[in-house]
């Protein structure tokens, strides 16, 4: 019986290994920050906040926010 390859991660979560490596914090750190901000800020406001306050690139910031907000809807 042939082993199946693990399913490739898609969508915003595909950025997570790079985000952790680039910024030196686990995803729980970034998701926690976004959760704190989502009470008073909209998607792009949080993206811009991550970029300005934490030096995150746009694609990485957008991936974190999109993932976190999508999880909150589920």
57: Cβ–Cβ under 8 A, 6 or more apart, which residues? Answer: 22, 51
DSSP character for 66? Answer: H
pLDDT values of the chain reduced to their tens digit, one per residue, 74 residues: 556 656 777 888 999 999 999 999 999 999 999 999 999 999 999 999 999 999 999 999 999 999 999 987 64
Rounded distance between C-alpha atoms, residue 56 and residue 60, angstroms: 6
Residue 11: its pLDDT value, please?
A: 87
Task: Write down the domain spans for the chain.
Answer: 13-73
DSSP 31-65: HHHHHHHTTT--HHHHHHHHHHHH---HHHHHHHH
Residue 74: its pLDDT value, please?
A: 45
């Amino acid at each position: 019986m042939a082993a199946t390859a693990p399913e490739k991660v898609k969508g915003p979560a595909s950025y997570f290994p790079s985000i952790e490596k680039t910024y030196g914090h686990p995803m729980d750190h970034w998701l926690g920050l976004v959760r704190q901000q989502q009470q008073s800020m909209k998607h792009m406001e949080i993206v811009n906040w991550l970029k300005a306050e934490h030096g995150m690139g746009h694609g990485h910031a957008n991936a974190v926010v999109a993932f976190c907000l999508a999880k909150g809807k589920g």
